[in-house]
């Protein structure tokens, strides 16, 4: 018995050491891309693109989803919008290189307030808020808490309403005291690295994952123990949060476009996207056939057109959607087991 316990203790210690070393390696490979913004006792990491002299769009603030960081939005959108608008790409509290802050940041409203504080620090008084997946819940919360700072909303495959069922077991495990930190510091990173490519492919399916997605957007950052646990807590808190807040979405009064795919295997579009279209007066819902969970990367041009529409341009989103669908019609990438 003593020998068994000793072996277990040595194994755990070895995994902890390996995780620390691998974390340093990941951080060296994907260093901060922007600046640290003090938002009142802690700092958020962000890439701020100043307003160009000939900007034709209002300021744009991008909010990434679960398991992500600001690169997931800056990689597809910055090249498309450079020179047209002031942009702010933010690592959500406790993700990427941002510090977590207090307990309030365990729910979307706290994170929305943190983003608002970062905007004010950079002199952004109002902006179109673009939220992908989990970022959609934060974008909606932002509009509720800071309507005067919200000039428009663009939701991309959002997660905003209560859904049937629960969440993946490792989220529930990781958020627990004692057991959660132990799991995050031992097994999460080695197990996660084996699923990085296949898991990302499943998020994109049926659309093919870009070959450079892992290296260009650094999803490995979420496998670091602190970020992994913050991500798990965020996801575990989402369902009770949106169950409480979704009835207030009817209070939102701002131009809104929602882009969603009929082949999204991550969120149930008929619950979240249709729910937003129902709840926000005047919201335009754009359904795309054969689109998975990544309209930010797969249909970036359509998302840009949605931003233009929200900004007041006369944009025919129906025609833009038809063009996007035509480009995806032959996609049949699977989800690796």
Query: Is 336 part of any domain?
Result: no
**CATH code of the domain containing 306:** 3.40.50.1820
Across the range 49-64, mean pLDDT stands at 97
Number of domains comprising the chain: 1
Give yes or no for a contact between 100 and 324, defined as CB atoms under 8 angstroms apart: no
Query: Is 229 part of any domain?
Result: yes
Determine whether 168 is exposed, middle or buried from the number of CB atoms within 10 Å of its CB (0-12, 13-18, 19+).
Answer: exposed
Give yes or no for a contact between 297 and 76, defined as CB atoms under 8 angstroms apart: yes
Across the range 286-310, mean pLDDT stands at 98
Query: Is 333 part of any domain?
Result: no
Domain range for 192: 2-328
Q: Is a pLDDT exceeding 90 seen at residue 231?
A: yes
Q: What is the pLDDT of residues 94-141, one digit of tens each?
A: 999 999 999 999 999 999 999 999 999 999 999 999 999 999 999 999
Q: How far apart are CA 320 and CA 105, in angstroms?
A: 36
Query: Is 159 part of any domain?
Result: yes
Query: What local confidence, expressed as pLDDT, does residue 110 receive?
Result: 98
- Max Cα-Cα span within the chain: 74
Query: Is 161 part of any domain?
Result: yes
Non-local CB neighbours of 247 within 8 Å, separated by 6+ positions: none
The per-residue DSSP string of 289-333 comes to TT--S-HHHHSHHHHHHHHHHHTT----HHHHHHHHHHHHTT---
Q: What is the pLDDT of residues 192-226, one digit of tens each?
A: 999 999 999 999 999 999 999 999 999 999 999 99
Query: Is 264 part of any domain?
Result: yes
**Reported pTM:** 0.97
Query: Is 334 part of any domain?
Result: no
Reported as a pLDDT band with limits 50, 70 and 90, residue 280 is: very high
User: To 5 degrees, how large is the angle CA 277–CA 140–CA 56?
Assistant: 90
Determine whether 4 is exposed, middle or buried from the number of CB atoms within 10 Å of its CB (0-12, 13-18, 19+).
Answer: exposed
Query: Is 102 part of any domain?
Result: yes
């Amino acid at each position: 018995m003593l020998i068994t316990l000793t072996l277990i203790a040595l194994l755990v210690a070895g995994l902890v050491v390996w995780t620390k070393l691998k974390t340093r390696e990941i951080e060296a490979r994907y260093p901060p891309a922007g600046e640290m913004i003090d938002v009142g006792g802690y700092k958020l990491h962000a890439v701020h693109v100043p307003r160009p002299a000939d900007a034709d769009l209002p300021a744009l603030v991008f909010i990434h989803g679960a398991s992500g960081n600001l690169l997931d939005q800056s990689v597809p959108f910055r090249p498309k919008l450079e020179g047209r608008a002031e942009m702010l790409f933010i690592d959500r509290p406790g993700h990427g290189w941002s510090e977590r802050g207090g307990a309030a940041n365990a729910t979307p409203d706290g994170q929305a307030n943190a983003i608002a504080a970062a905007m004010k620090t950079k002199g952004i008084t109002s902006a179109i808020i673009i939220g992908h997946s989990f970022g959609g819940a934060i974008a909606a919360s932002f509009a509720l808490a800071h309507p005067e700072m919200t000039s428009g909303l663009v939701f991309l495959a959002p997660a905003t309403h209560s859904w049937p069922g629960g969440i993946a077991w490792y989220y529930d495990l990781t958020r627990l005291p004692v057991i959660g930190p132990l799991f995050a510091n031992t097994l999460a990173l080695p197990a996660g690295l084996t699923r990085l490519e296949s898991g990302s492919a499943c998020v994109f399916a049926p659309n093919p994952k870009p070959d450079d997605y892992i290296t260009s957007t650094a999803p490995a950052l979420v496998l670091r123990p602190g970020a992994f646990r913050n991500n798990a807590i965020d996801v575990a808190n989402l369902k009770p949060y949106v169950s409480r807040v979704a009835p207030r979405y009817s209070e939102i009064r701002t131009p809104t476009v929602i882009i969603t795919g009929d082949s999204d295997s991550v969120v149930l579009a008929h619950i979240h996207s249709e729910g937003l279209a129902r709840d926000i007066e005047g919201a335009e819902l754009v359904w795309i056939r054969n689109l998975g969970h990544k309209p930010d990367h797969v249909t970036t041009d359509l998302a840009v057109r949605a931003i233009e529409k929200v900004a007041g341009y006369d944009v025919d989103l129906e025609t833009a959607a038809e063009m996007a669908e035509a480009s995806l019609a032959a996609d049949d990438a699977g989800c690796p087991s």
